Amino acid sequence: MSHIHILGICGTFMAGIAQIAKQAGFTVTGSDEHVYPPMSTQLQACGIELTTGYDPKQLKPVPDCVIIGNALSRGNPAVEYVLNHNIPYMSGPEWLFKHVLQSRWVLAVAGTHGKTTTTSLLTWILDYAGLNPGFLIGGVTNNFDCSARLGGDSFFVIEADEYDSAFFDKRSKFLHYRPRTLILNNLEYDHADIFPDLGAIQRQCHYLMRTVPAQGLIVRGPDTNIDAVMKQGVWTEQQIIHQHWRATDLAEDGSAFTLMEQDKIMGRVAWSLLGAHNIHNALAAIAAAKHVGITPAVSIEALAAFTGIKRRMEVLGKVNQITVYDDFAHHPTAIQTTIEGLRKKVGKERILAVVDFASYTMRSGEHQHTVAPAVAAADETYFSKPQGCEWPIESLANQTIQVFDNTQKIVDELIQRSKTKDHILIMSNRGFEGIHQRLLNALQEQYE
């Protein structure tokens, strides 16, 4: 039995690789700088031995292959040991293609926004239809008890990240996947730490286009930035969301719509998700599912049984009729669509939005001119200024926007300002120093 050791195992993607490898019969061990729940307990429950830190001793006895996560770089003691002792190594995406994807019909979901939701929807539709897909999702959907599994022999659904593969492979992860069915939802500038401009991301997307076979399918958004990619060359049929697939007769909050394929009514979708952005995601998932033989009627049934995704407008609790939500939005476009989706649901009830500037792109100031307009639908907004911020977030402060450099101060202000029937929407791509539970605990002390 082959032994693989994963450096950087506790990230969502690498933990998914670990679980899939274990299910495929490999002996799997791994390490990370910080090994802690919930990921550590999930991996240990799978029988995966974990080590904290990167001491080279963990590489004795020598594994058959070391998978190196993209968070690791030269100078890391374990990485240097692998190189110095000529131990076979590869990136996570490379391993996944070589050992799993090469023999599968791969359905990949790419784009700046909506990848996790669309991948979850598509995976659930295939599972509901009895196809037993393998999958690797960058989040946890309530319809599954895991974010990755090996699945059957035919189909594999994967969230196709544009981030680089490893320190020795600067190509986007998705270039390893070679999908037959590709969703490209949208395209904006992001990841300022590795991409100098939008053109660099478009170049990677065009390389991705080159891997989709002529008998495959590209489902894409009506996006001018995607149009520019396609003009560089495309050899595969395209179906454009909101053109080939459309939603009509929408409920105001997006909780229901009529599905149209071109000019033909396919049925009525009634589901638990909200917002125009999620309708967009659903249309893409329905189109991709049809490419593998699932009828729109079955997809409609599956969507009705979809119960949501953790950290995507997830209700964490209610105290004194004050609702606290957690959402992963961290880019101005995602922040705007998230707030606007909640606005359509709650009407004139107050929305208190908390935005964490934790991502490198937000800290760098790349989106400093679009952040304030993105929160316009909220009644009050609280911006969190993290350490290492490279621009004066304080300049955005006005009558409805406040800026804080301390998480506890945000909690204290929310306790003071919130009242019955308010909606507190916390948006961050990190743990945010446990603000969610700290706020709920403080609300309970205040009102109970």
Sketch out the chain's domains with CATH numbers: 3-90 (3.40.50.720), 95-304 (3.40.1190.10), 314-447 (3.90.190.20)
Cβ pair 198, 122 in contact under 8 A: no
**φ/ψ of residue 287, rounded to 5:** -60, -45
Cβ pair 134, 152 in contact under 8 A: yes
- pLDDT recorded at residue 395: 72
* Per-residue model confidence as pLDDT tens digits over 186-234: 998 777 777 888 899 999 999 999 999 999 999 999 999 999 999 999 9
**φ/ψ of residue 428, rounded to 5:** -160, 150
Q: Which residues of the chain have pLDDT under 50?
A: none
The pair of structure tokens assigned to 174 is: 């998705």
* E strands present in 309-370: 314-319, 322-327, 351-356
Give, as one character, the DSSP assignment of residue 302.
H
Distances (CA, A) of 124 to 5, 227, 268, 288: 30, 29, 18, 12
Q: What is the DSSP string of 392-434?
A: -GGGG--SSEEEES-HHHHHHHHHHH--TT-EEEEE-SS-GGG
Angstrom distance (rounded) from CA 180 to CA 157:
11
Give, as one character, the DSSP assignment of residue 101.
G
Give, as one character, the DSSP assignment of residue 313.
S
- pLDDT recorded at residue 435: 87
User: The whole model's pTM is what?
Assistant: 0.78
Angstrom distance (rounded) from CA 335 to CA 401:
15
Give, as one character, the DSSP assignment of residue 139.
S
- pLDDT recorded at residue 271: 92
**φ/ψ of residue 352, rounded to 5:** -105, 110
The pair of structure tokens assigned to 267 is: 């049925």
- pLDDT recorded at residue 399: 82
